[in-house]
Amino acid sequence: MDDIYDHLRHIIQIGAGNNIGLGCDFDGIETTPEGIEGVQSLKHFGENLAEAFDEETSYKIMEGNFYAFFKRYFEG
């Protein structure tokens, strides 16, 4: 998972932290990143994410950015 966190840090450093969203569609991939076996790993991933980053960043990656996107483009 360290490689994933490094990649996320890079995206945040270049100013795109509000554009990251964690997807959980594993169809069509032959292997998953080490430490991610499938959707059953997302809770553990989220817990580790909160330790690797602050709570606000973790929330944005796990759900907040998706929520903001859908609210902006699909609300009423």
Higher pLDDT, 32 or 67: 67
CA distance 14 to 52: 18
Count other C-beta atoms under 10 Å from residue 8's C-beta: 19
Domain ranges of the chain: 38-76
d(CA 21, CA 64): 8
pTM of the predicted model over 0.85: no
Mean pLDDT of all residues belonging to the chain? 90
| Inter-residue contact 61 to 48 (CB < 8 Å) | no
pLDDT digit string (tens) for 57-70? 999 999 999 999 99
Percent of the chain whose predicted confidence (pLDDT) is above 90:
55
**Residue 13, pLDDT above cutoff 90:** yes
